[in-house]
Amino acid sequence: MVSQTCQRLRADIDAIPVIDCHEHTVGPGSYPKYSDAIAALIQGYVRSDLVSAGGEGDMALLDDPTIPTERKWPVFERLWKRTEHTAYGHVTKWILKTEYGIEKLTLEAIQSMAGRLLDLSDPKAYQDYLRKHGIRCRLVNIWIDWKKYLAGEHKVPACDRVMIGLPDYHGVRSFEGVCGITARMGRKVTSLHEYLDACREQFKRFKELGAAGMKDQSAYSRGIAYDNPSQAEAERQFNFIMEDPRRSLGWPEAKPLDDFLFHEFMRMARKLEFPVQIHTGHMAGIRNDITKTNAALFTKVLELHSDVKFDLFHGNWPYPGEWLYLGKNYPNVHLDCCWLHVIDPRYARRVLADALVTVPHRKIHGFGGDYGDCIEYAAGHLAIARDNIAAALAKMVDGGWIDLDQARQIAADWLFNNPNEFFSLGFQPVTL
């Protein structure tokens, strides 16, 4: 049963503007043109649950625009009944109810969506949608033509601030990989020193164009424990791939070069005053090794680069204690709840309540949608995040730890003020 305190907080939280701390959306030009209703309902993370529930061999059929909805429905219905109660499924339910007025998913309901599927590809409609849901600014980790962007020829939406994706820069394994990075600004390099200089030049240009920081999701492909190899070790490997374009490094053979470059980029982040976002915990998709992503493995980097500000992602799910410990123990660490609210809402509520009594509350970043170009999914995620924040803070109010006015201000800090200050976004703080 939802307490009166929670209901009052939830209504207040709806009026708080939001800084979306993590997205992968390029902008209205990339908004998908839905071919049928089922395609519109299986975007984003719900696909992982459909696959996990036994639908791995069915996704091609569900995605095929040439197959009528009536033929897809029995497959979709079977998988939906297995997954509809997950948080990912609840985002889809939110979209059905909010955007289409549908309370229960049936074939007739899906057929009623024909001719009125969302189309937010118009820039004004796109911006109006974000404004409607209170999203003031988004930090985006995207994949575009970086050569055009760095030349000033590609613009991102006005509300977006780019986060520089680091894995490509320190994950170079071949001559071709090095050339792909340096070509972004029309440079060729022949040595490790020149490569670092080319990267430094790019990062400075990113900052000139308004980038808010760096983001590293290397946890998908390697563990986040970084050694501190010598330049000589890294240079030996870099020279090996540069002197013969047909050579490449495997993994973990390439770890010394990868680790060395990562540390060099942390030094550049310090000089440029760039915060660095780090993927920790759960990974998108299925079949991955969660042990390599535990934030505790990143401790040596936090120790060494104590002058760099780090934003640790995803609540480190399913490792809450390590995440809270790092936020409490390291002044240069902030804790980011991006994606967390739809990975595990109950965990999110517990860890936010625990965070309030263990970590200075100005170190928590309350929301990041972490979806792609289907921005209605990020809006559905935000609705769940607002529910979770209201529930966590109401629990602390009802328990006598804070009062209602303090809870309102904490919510504003988590959703807006903290990331605004941490990423130097320049907005006026929200005071309640």
Structure tokens at 419: 């990331």
Rounded distance between C-alpha atoms, residue 177 and residue 264, angstroms = 18
Amino acid 85: pLDDT: 98
What letter represents residue 338's amino acid?
Answer: C
**Closest Cα to residue 21, out of 396, 402, 301, 418?**
418
Are 56 and 79 in contact by the 8 Å Cβ rule? The answer is: no
- CB-based burial label for 48 (10 Å; 0-12, 13-18, 19+): middle
Residue by residue, DSSP assigns 19-61 as EEEEE----GGG----SSHHHHHS-TTHHHHHIIIIITTTHHH
Q: What does the block give as tokens for 262?
A: 């990562």
Q: What is the DSSP letter of 416?
A: I
- The CA-atom distances, in angstroms, between 286 and each of 46, 88, 220, 290 are 12, 14, 11, 11
Distance separating the N- and C-terminal Cα atoms of the chain: 27
Closest CA to 50 of 25, 16, 14, 75: 75
pLDDT of residue 35: 84
Beta strands in 100-231 (DSSP E): 135-140, 160-165, 213-216
Residues of the chain with pLDDT under 50: none
* 268-303 residues labelled b (16+ CB within 10 A) or e (exposed): bbeebebbbbbbbbbbbeeeeeeebbbbebbbebbe
352/336 Cα distance (integer angstroms): 11
Coil, strand or helix at 295? helix
Strands 364-365 and 160-165: unpaired
Structure confidence at residue 64 (pLDDT): 92
Q: Would you say how long the chain is, in residues?
A: 432
Residue type, 295: A
Q: Name every residue whose Cβ is closer than 8 Å to that of residue 406 and which is 6 or more positions away in sequence.
A: none
pLDDT at residue 351 in the model? 98
pLDDT value of residue 1: 74
DSSP secondary structure code for residue 146 in this structure: H
Q: What is the pLDDT of residue 96?
A: 97
